[in-house]
Structure 1
Amino acid sequence: MPDHPLPLTRRHFVAASASLSGLLLLAGPAGAATPEIPANQNGETAMTSGYVTTPDGTQIFYKDWGPKEAQPIMFHHGWPLSADDWDAQMLFFLSKGYRVVAHDRRGHGRSSQVSTGHDMDHYAADAAAVVHHLDLTNAVHIGHSTGGGEVARYVARHGQPEGRVAAAVLVSAVPPLMLKTEANPEGTPMAVFDGFRSALAANRAQFFLDVASGPFYGFNRPGAEVSQGVITNWWRQGMMGAALAHYEGIKAFSETDQTEDLKAITVPMLVIQGDDDQVVPYKDAMVKQHALLVNSQMKIYPGFPHGMLTTHADVTNPDLLAFVTQA
């Protein structure tokens, strides 16, 4: 490397200008709001992470951002992802002055790759362990997909009886029951979930790539604006976790009947989903959730996919904020 700057020619300037223009286009439309992250008197944002050890010895990773005195919002991720799937929501709500918390489900992300407890009861108990460790009160819990099932069981069996929950949101969530049964004829046939298990066992890396690049974000729809970064990030999160946890998690999200959980919840609830969800059919999910809950609002998003919190965060985040401010 030379110890003096190279001369800037007109060709260099044009090339640099073109590169900068490209980056600005990628960053978003002109005039788009940039979140202002609150800082303390030292100019720092409160940001911590750590682990909680559950009674069965499982270590659950969590991250905790924002002022400790602010109302907390706790996020519960979908299968087979991690707390990182909530980046767009955590940054957004942090900029609005909230305390935001997210954790990796057991066997997922940075949490312990344990051989047991891959069921909704343990998922909810693990979430409760994080809540107790951080002493979260008056919290709003937001769950996506499998995380919605986790939220429903947590609120019904842990948070609500302890008086720690102000409200909750189910986004493209799996309750009350995904599996087709005699009592749930509108559900998804077992053969579909057996196909998930077979594909995961045969080649998990390819299966996860296929899910992320296809139905999860609706990237398989004609005219879809495909983001390779979003696909790669989904794949990255999935491959961080344990294959066994993901394999057994399919049973947890598809075969757990949470009808009684939903009936037991009395705190204010918001249930939202896109009508082009190719993973969790909205008529067997959101519509039934709203019918079973005693205190809920429902909103459907025309054309939105299962992963709408990522693809349409500019629409869903303000709607979530509007509900949270009422809690």
Structure 2
Amino acid sequence: MPVTDSPRDARADGHVTTPDGTRIAYSDTQSGSSPSSPSPPLLLLHGLAGHMGEWDDLAARLLADGHRVVRYDARGHAASTRRPRDMTRASCVADAVAVIEHLSLPPVTLVGQSLGGHTAFLTAAAHPNLIDTLILIEAGPSGPSPNLPIEIGSWLDKSSVPFADRDMMVAAVAELAERSYWTEWEQVRCPTFVVRGAQGTMPASEPAEMRTRRPTSTTTETEVIQDAGHDVHLDRPERLYEVVRAFLARARHERRTA
């Protein structure tokens, strides 16, 4: 059964307007309990064709541990501007930065699934001062993937729920069809946790390559969640919470002993 927010938690919903005029809908929840060791707030980024409500289960568990948890709908999705002028990777990084700065979050633990994870590590690469730790779920820098826009378009067309903004979803992955992002990945310097679903779409070899393509002084941990596909946060939310909680505890210990 999904965990629900405690009535003691303080939740604020709002919008932030980015430099290009896009309105990003967010939800900021402060835990009603105090953690034994203060930790950076968590910012959760959903994947393509998703919405911030997908994080409800994980968010509630993290709130119960005393964390501050922020989520938002990506541009082109849900309650944010549905047809923005720009759907580039750079614009999505700018959105993450706008939310972080608007809510005075840094340094933040950035958590992203799929395309949200891609945005997360690009943000960590470009704005290292804003990011404390990074958690990537079924997301990495490999590519290019020339057929991806066609595959995404076909997937949306077959969905039982019509997507009025299908072209926005396809535009969101256009750059991933053209290139890889290993150069940006190699610029990430914060501790990182890479989570893959055993039945997901992330290649099994990618997390290992992600480890080898960073300095040995920079922590990159990996985990495989059994009985989970690409949507690990929906398929196995309790198990995902367990491994995320353990990683955050290790990161907190390393900060104290550094």
TM-score range, shorter chain: 0.7 to 0.9
Q: Say if 2:217 is the partner of 1:296.
A: no
Which of 119, 138, 142 aligns to 1:177? It is 142
Q: Which amino acid aligns with 1:310?
A: L
Q: Measured at CA, do residues 255 and 62 of structure 1 come closer, stay the same or move farther in structure 2, by a change above 3 Å?
A: farther
Q: Pick from 275, 291, 296 the counterpart of residue 198 of structure 2.
A: 275
Q: 2:172 aligns with which of 249, 252, 261?
A: 249
Could you tell me how far apart the structure 2 residues matched to 1:312 and 1:254 are? Answer: 29
Aligned equivalent of 1:46: 10
Distance 1:256 1:88 in 2: 34
Count of residues paired in the alignment: 243
* Max Rg structure: 1
Structure 2 distance, partners of 1:300, 1:127, is 26
Which whole-Å deviations, capped at 9, do the CAs of 1:222-272 have from their partners, x for residues lacking one? xxxxxxxxxxxxx5xx84x72221121132444452211211111110111
With structure 2 as the length reference, what TM-score do the two structures score?
0.85
Aligned counterparts, 1:1-327, within 5 A:
27=1, 37=6, 39=8, 45-67=9-31, 71-158=40-127, 160=128, 163-173=129-139, 175-180=140-145, 190-191=146-147, 193-197=149-153, 199=154, 204=156, 206-209=157-160, 235=161, 239=163, 242-277=165-200, 279-283=201-205, 285-294=206-215, 295-327=219-251
- Going by fraction, where is helix more abundant, 1 or 2? 1
Preserved contact between residue 31 and residue 68 of structure 2 (Cα < 8 Å): yes
Unaligned runs of 5+ in 1: 1-26, 29-33, 40-44, 181-189, 210-234
8 A Cα contact 1:38 1:95, kept in partner: no
Q: CA RMSD in A?
A: 2.4
| Cα offsets for 1:71-93 (capped at 9, x unmatched) | 31000111111111111111110
Q: Percent of pairs identical after alignment?
A: 22
Deviation at 1:127, TM superposition (A): 0.5
Q: Structure 2: give runs of 5+ residues left out of the alignment.
A: 33-37, 252-258
Query: With structure 1 as the length reference, what TM-score do the two structures score?
Result: 0.68
What's the CA shift for 1:195?
3.6
Q: Which has the higher strand share?
A: 2
After TM superposition, give the deviation of residue 313 of structure 1 in Å: 1.2
Q: CA offsets per residue over residues 160-194 of structure 1, 9 Å max, x none?
A: 1xx23211111111x212335xxxxxxxxx34542
Shift of the 89–255 alpha-carbon distance from structure 1 to 2, 3 Å rule, reads: farther
